[in-house]
C-alpha cells in the first residue's frame, strides 16, 4: 500500500500543477477506499521489473455512476468494464498498459474525468474513447463520460 499511496500523491500534485486542483484535492482517494478496492479485488497495478508505476480500479458490470447520462447518450448498454482512479508515477505507457489489460477482460469500456483534467481527456481520446456526455459522481460534481467499444472503435 505505501507505493500505491505514493503514486496517488504524485498524481494529485501533477493534477494541481496542471490546472486540475479540485478533482482529487489533497486527500482523494483516501486510503480506506483503496483498501476496500483491494479487498474487493478491484484495484490493479501496472508494474515493470517489479516496480509499480501505475494503479487503477476496474470492475465489470453496471456502475451506478453511469446509470444517468446528461447531454448525450451511451452508444451501447451491453455489459461493460469501468476504469476509475487511474494514476501513475509519471512513467510513460501506464494508461496504454491499463487499457490493454482491461480490453482483455471485456471489449466495452467506460471511464470519466473532471472537466479540468485536460491531460486525461487527451490520453483517453488518443486511445479511442468517445465523449458520450456528462455524468454526476456521488458528491454531485460533473464528469465527462467516455466510452470505448471494440465493436465500433477505430483503434
Q: Give φ, ψ of 143 to 5 degrees.
A: -140, 145
Indicate whether 155 belongs to any domain: no
Distance CA 114, CA 145 (A): 9
Specify if 140 maps to a domain: yes
Let me know: does 151 contact 75? Beta carbons within 8 Å. Answer: no
123 within domain boundaries: yes
pLDDT digits 0-9 by tens, 81-126: 999 999 999 999 999 999 999 999 999 999 999 999 999 999 999 9
How far apart are alpha carbons 122 and 120 in whole angstroms?
5
Structural domain includes residue 38: yes
User: What is the CATH number for 63?
Assistant: 3.40.630.30
Residue 94 lies inside a defined structural domain of this protein: yes
Query: Where does the pLDDT of residue 152 fall: very low under 50, low under 70, confident under 90, or very high at 90 and above?
Result: confident
In a domain, 116, yes or no: yes
Distance CA 110, CA 39 (A): 22
Predicted TM-score (pTM) of the model is 0.94
Name the CA radius of gyration of the chain, rounded.
15
pLDDT of 155 over the 90 cut: no
Q: Give the structural domain span for 48.
A: 2-149
Residues facing 57 on adjacent strands: 43, 84
In a domain, 154, yes or no: no
CB 3 within 8 A of CB 52: yes
Contact 56, 98 (CB under 8 A): yes
Overall domain count for the chain:
1
Which residue, chain included where needed, has cell 521489473? 49
For position 151, what pLDDT does the model report? 80
Q: Residue 153 — pLDDT band, cuts 50, 70, 90?
A: low
For residue 117, being part of any structural domain is answered with yes
Ramachandran region, residue 44 (left: φ > 0; alpha: ψ -120 to 50; beta: rest): beta
The predicted structure's pLDDT at residue 21: 95
Contacts of 155 (CB under 8 A, 6+ apart): 127, 128
Amino acid at each position: 500500500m505505501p507505493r500505491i499511496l505514493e503514486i496517488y500523491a504524485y498524481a494529485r500534485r501533477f493534477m494541481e500543477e496542471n490546472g486540475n486542483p479540485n478533482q482529487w484535492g489533497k486527500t482523494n482517494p483516501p486510503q480506506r477506499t483503496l483498501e476496500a478496492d483491494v479487498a474487493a479485488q478491484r484495484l490493479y497495478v501496472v508494474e515493470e521489473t517489479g516496480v509499480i508505476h501505475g494503479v487503477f480500479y476496474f470492475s465489470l458490470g453496471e456502475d451506478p455512476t453511469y446509470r444517468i447520462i446528461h447531454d448525450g447518450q451511451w452508444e451501447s448498454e451491453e455489459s461493460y468494464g469501468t476504469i476509475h482512479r487511474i494514476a501513475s508515477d509519471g512513467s510513460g505507457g501506464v494508461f496504454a498498459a491499463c487499457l490493454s489489460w482491461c480490453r482483455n477482460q471485456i471489449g466495452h469500456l467506460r471511464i470519466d474525468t473532471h472537466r479540468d483534467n485536460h491531460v486525461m481527456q487527451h490520453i483517453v481520446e488518443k486511445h479511442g474513447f468517445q465523449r458520450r456526455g456528462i455524468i454526476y459522481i456521488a458528491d454531485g460534481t460533473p464528469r465527462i463520460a467516455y466510452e470505448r467499444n471494440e465493436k465500433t472503435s477505430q483503434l
